[in-house]
A and B are shown apart, each in its own frame.
Chain A
Amino acid sequence: MKATAAPSDATLTVDTSRRAAGRATAVPRGRKPLSWKKLSTPWVYMAPAMSVLLLMTVAPAIFIFYSAFRNDKILGGAGKFVGLDNFITAVTNASVQHAFLITFGFVAVAVILEMILGFALALPLAAQTRANKVGAALMLLPFAVTPAVAAMVFKQLLNPNYGWVGYYLGIFGFPKGIDLLGDPTSAWIVLVILDIWQWTPFIALILMAGLQSLPGEPREAAMVDGASPWQMFRHITFPAMVPFIAIAAVLRTIQAFKTFDSFKILTGGGPGESTEIINLGIFRVGLQSFNVGLACALGVVFLIILSLLIPFMLRIIGRRADPEEM
């Protein structure tokens, strides 16, 4: 066992000597039952953080499970138990099904595009030159912009009568005064572009770190052997990048499911209901129509779906990124 004492211990010994007297010194694990103090200390340290987390996750989850079976409205009075009504509405309502579908669609499309574009940005920026430092800093700027602000700025840019986008597109031959937010397809394209604009730097940064951490020897050896760029990418670069790709993809997906600001500000769910993702739907039902019961039922369904989807992804990060297991 390592027995050398660090010099800084001089400051520690005085006030802890009493405790030290009653305590066993370094003993191989598993030989002696752990003292009460040793058992409870980690829990004491965990307690504040756990209270905060329990308060904001488990407690709300309990509330929504409870409320979903009732029809409380915000003005209270007595809501009554309505059994599965809210759930039936939630699951069978065509608008709700549509909302879930477009949410998943959006997440899938956005994340995939961001991964590809992130890679395309990370490759040129990986080399550590001064120009690249500047480039990386510039690339990061959109990421620093508050999403609500970015959405507002995009909205102004897209104003059909006064926005720059409409004007300059008009010069390039598009119909004048084009209303990109008034058509479902173009509105979706705009929303995805906004998401890409904001989040690709995030992916690119992580991938850059991955590229910069690649050891040089395998690459050099492959070049000596005359490998083509594609072969090099496929057999050397890509496999080494997998942990980084995994973290980036999973983190980005979790965040993408939380998207709210851009949709609320750019389209508010319109045109029609074509961009009303589930987050917007729950917000509208719960905090604008004050139908708490239905909103909670929708929340429960959403939570269940995420609980099935995410742990699968988390196992990927956990396995690849946990320093203890690496």
Chain B
Amino acid sequence: MKTTQLGLGAWDLPWRKQGGKMTRSFNRIKRSRVAAGLAAALTVTLLATGCTGGSSAPNASAAKPAELRMLYTTDEANSAAVASLVPQFKEKFGIDLKIDNQPYDALQQKVFSEFASSSSYYDIVVVDTPWAPALVQNLEPLSQYLENGALNPDGPESNVGDFIPKVFYDTAVYNADSPIKRYPDPKAKPDVSTIKSAGFDVYGMPIQSNVAVMAYRSDLFNDPAQKANFKAKYGKDLTVPKTWDDYAQVAEFFTQPDKKLYGTTVMAGVGDWATDDFKTLLASQGGDGTLADENGKPTFDTAEGVQALDYYAKLAQSGHVPPGSTSADWGTTAESFGSGLTAMTINYHDLKLADNVKGGTIGYAPVPTAKAAGPHFGTWMLSVNKNSKNKEWAYQAISWLTAANQQTTMTAKSLHPSRTSVYSGIKSDNPLAPFYDTLGKSLAEGVGRARLTNYTEVSHEVAVAVNNAATGAASPSDALKSASEKVSALLKSAGY
């Protein structure tokens, strides 16, 4: 290390004077100390390597801890729903579940820095799909736990076969040696042994499944006056749009300044949400909605990509979306729709209307399609920290939390379930039944993100391109080409 040169010479004087006397006695002490130190180090190393053998089988009779610590989100993955299960958890297991809630950015930093320091503080960590490729090496592979009968007393209820296949494979199934790979058969019913024999493993249990869903003001769509006007103007019936062209048309119709109404929203601000808007459109044009292939090459600068971005830019500039849409994000669009400013919206959770929106009712439908369907989806999963000292109990905790019964209970707090049986079990008198119906259908069609360790950087470049096209600062094809070059450079520097 470079020593500073700030005239600290004055400090040296006293030491130098007494140095001779000191070094002699120091040497004597040194030798015996060193020997003891080596012995200690050796013992510790032996113990450590013995304890942290990564591939040791889970011990079904591991000691039960007094508490388990979980790192979780705030609203993003519905922390209130999980919090509501804590008393029940204590009853069932006799363990205190301590949950630490963090908002998204702080959560990501905390998750990464906990793993970077190999901390064993949190037994359970919530992981969002964009982070998983970089974190896979730090998550405990769960196949051995899933196959251990003693650790799965609730049998069929907690088995993985019940998870929505596409959600499960996109969220939790990774090849640790090559995280960029996707499981080859995403529609097959999940089965642990099949997954293992394909060279993959399970790294978490999906809990909150988000997918792009369209919400609309059913009161406006059912209003006889509106229906008559629409028929007069376009010569067909007013229905909830199923294609993007219909969507643009309905948005045009519902832009009614006298009612302070706009057609719909777009989230064109610079951020992951803009990338998500774009990839939904891209997938529906038949393009690759994951944005990059398994060789680490960007796949969005194509004819479909330009078509998708062109549509998006036209919509953003059409005046049929509220002002400020080119800086909008999830929160802003939810606010726009919620305050009655727009007739439709595309977002990732159920929506509520403010009190001053008189007579407003909300309906839900899958997002429009064109040649194909591919709404963006991303699911949070609960994973076991590889460094945790209570892995067996942590596994049982997450297995229980994501079991069918518990997910059904959490739907009372609007959790987005990840299990097929939960969706079919939603009763029709559930106030959110229409939302869950659409959610379940959309999840089955969803398209996830490319599994890149530097996905956030890639997403940023795409979002910049989307924003530039939306504001008109660049043409869609130029924006995509520039983003593609930048992304290629990013992927190369990440080692792909």
Report which A residues bind B (CB closer than 8 A).
36, 39-40, 43, 50, 54, 58, 62, 73-77, 85, 89, 159-161, 166, 176-179, 181-184, 267-273, 284-285, 287-291
Q: Count residues on chain B whose CB falls below 8 Å from chain A CBs.
A: 39
Per-residue CB contact flags for chain B residues 276-301 toward chain A (1 = under 8 Å, else 0) read 00000000000000000000000000
In the complex, A184→B324 CA distance in Å?
Answer: 13
Per-residue CB contact flags for chain B residues 1-23 toward chain A (1 = under 8 Å, else 0) read 11010100011010000000000
In the complex, A77→B11 CA distance in Å?
Answer: 38
Known interface pairs A54-B4, A75-B138, A268-B271; A39-B471 also in contact (CB < 8 Å): no
The answer to whether B1 touches A284 (Cβ under 8 A) is no
17 more CB-based (< 8 A) A-B contacts, given A75-B115, A288-B456 = A43-B10, A50-B6, A75-B135, A159-B324, A161-B322, A161-B323, A161-B324, A161-B341, A179-B327, A182-B471, A184-B473, A269-B270, A271-B473, A272-B464, A272-B467, A273-B270, A284-B460
Report which B residues bind A (CB closer than 8 A).
1-2, 4, 6, 10-11, 13, 105, 108-109, 112-113, 115-116, 134-135, 137-138, 269-271, 322-327, 336, 341, 454, 456-457, 460, 464, 467-468, 471, 473, 493
The answer to whether B10 touches A39 (Cβ under 8 A) is yes
Please, which residue of chain B has its CB at the minimum distance from the CB of A285?
Answer: B457
The answer to whether B454 touches A289 (Cβ under 8 A) is yes
B368 to chain A, nearest CB (A): 25
Please, which residue of chain A has its CB at the minimum distance from the CB of B6?
Answer: A50
A271 in complex: contacting residue of B109, B137, B323, B327, CB < 8 Å: B327
B109 to chain A, nearest CB (A): 7
The answer to whether A270 touches B327 (Cβ under 8 A) is yes
Please, which residue of chain A has its CB at the minimum distance from the CB of B1?
Answer: A62
B285 to chain A, nearest CB (A): 24
Please, which residue of chain B has its CB at the minimum distance from the CB of A274?
Answer: B473
A326 to chain B, nearest CB (A): 26
A271 to chain B, nearest CB (A): 6
The answer to whether A160 touches B105 (Cβ under 8 A) is no
Chain A residues with CB under 8 A of B137? 77
A273 to chain B, nearest CB (A): 6
Please, which residue of chain B has its CB at the minimum distance from the CB of A58?
Answer: B4
B205 to chain A, nearest CB (A): 22
Most-contacted residue by chain A among B2, B327, B336, B468 (CB, 10 A): B327
The answer to whether A183 touches B471 (Cβ under 8 A) is yes
A-B contact pairs, 13 of them (CB 8 A): A36-B13, A58-B4, A74-B112, A160-B322, A160-B324, A161-B322, A182-B323, A182-B325, A270-B269, A270-B327, A271-B473, A272-B468, A272-B473
The answer to whether B4 touches A74 (Cβ under 8 A) is no
The answer to whether B324 touches A272 (Cβ under 8 A) is no
The answer to whether A270 touches B270 (Cβ under 8 A) is yes
Please, which residue of chain A has its CB at the minimum distance from the CB of B138?
Answer: A75
Please, which residue of chain A has its CB at the minimum distance from the CB of B471?
Answer: A271
In the complex, A160→B113 CA distance in Å?
Answer: 38
Chain B residues with CB under 8 A of A77? 137
Chain A residues with CB under 8 A of B112? 74-75, 290
The answer to whether A161 touches B336 (Cβ under 8 A) is yes
Chain B residues with CB under 8 A of A161? 322-324, 336, 341
Known interface pairs A62-B1, A76-B116, A182-B471; A271-B326 also in contact (CB < 8 Å): yes
Chain A residues with CB under 8 A of B464? 272-273
Closest CB pairs A-B (n = 7): A177-B323, A160-B324, A160-B323, A270-B270, A182-B326, A179-B324, A289-B457
Chain A residues with CB under 8 A of B271? 268
Known interface pairs A36-B13, A89-B493, A272-B270; A178-B327 also in contact (CB < 8 Å): no
A289 in complex: contacting residue of B2, B138, B336, B456, CB < 8 Å: B456
Please, which residue of chain B has its CB at the minimum distance from the CB of A62?
Answer: B2
In the complex, A289→B13 CA distance in Å?
Answer: 47
B326 in complex: contacting residue of A166, A176, A179, CB < 8 Å: A179
The answer to whether B326 touches A74 (Cβ under 8 A) is no
Chain B residues with CB under 8 A of A54? 4
Chain A residues with CB under 8 A of B108? 288
B52 to chain A, nearest CB (A): 16
A270 in complex: contacting residue of B105, B135, B322, B467, CB < 8 Å: B467
In the complex, A40→B10 CA distance in Å?
Answer: 7
B494 to chain A, nearest CB (A): 9
Chain A residues with CB under 8 A of B322? 160-161, 177
The answer to whether B327 touches A181 (Cβ under 8 A) is yes
The answer to whether B109 touches A287 (Cβ under 8 A) is yes
Known interface pairs A161-B323, A270-B467; A75-B134 also in contact (CB < 8 Å): yes
In the complex, A73→B134 CA distance in Å?
Answer: 10
Chain A residues with CB under 8 A of B2? 62
B1 to chain A, nearest CB (A): 7
In the complex, A197→B290 CA distance in Å?
Answer: 45
B67 to chain A, nearest CB (A): 27
Chain B residues with CB under 8 A of A287? 109
The answer to whether A271 touches B270 (Cβ under 8 A) is yes
Please, which residue of chain A has its CB at the minimum distance from the CB of B113?
Answer: A74
Please, which residue of chain A has its CB at the minimum distance from the CB of B454?
Answer: A289
A39 to chain B, nearest CB (A): 6
A181 to chain B, nearest CB (A): 5
Chain A residues with CB under 8 A of B6? 50
Known interface pairs A58-B4, A160-B324, A161-B336; A74-B270 also in contact (CB < 8 Å): no
Please, which residue of chain B has its CB at the minimum distance from the CB of A50?
Answer: B6
Please, which residue of chain A has its CB at the minimum distance from the CB of B274?
Answer: A270
The answer to whether A177 touches B456 (Cβ under 8 A) is no
Please, which residue of chain B has its CB at the minimum distance from the CB of A65?
Answer: B2
B111 to chain A, nearest CB (A): 10
B320 to chain A, nearest CB (A): 13
In the complex, A177→B467 CA distance in Å?
Answer: 19
A187 to chain B, nearest CB (A): 9
B236 to chain A, nearest CB (A): 30
In the complex, A271→B454 CA distance in Å?
Answer: 22
In the complex, A43→B6 CA distance in Å?
Answer: 11
Most-contacted residue by chain A among B13, B105, B323, B464 (CB, 10 A): B323
A180 to chain B, nearest CB (A): 9
Chain B residues with CB under 8 A of A285? 457
In the complex, A148→B270 CA distance in Å?
Answer: 20
In the complex, A85→B495 CA distance in Å?
Answer: 14
Chain B residues with CB under 8 A of A267? 327
In the complex, A184→B468 CA distance in Å?
Answer: 10
Chain A residues with CB under 8 A of B269? 268, 270
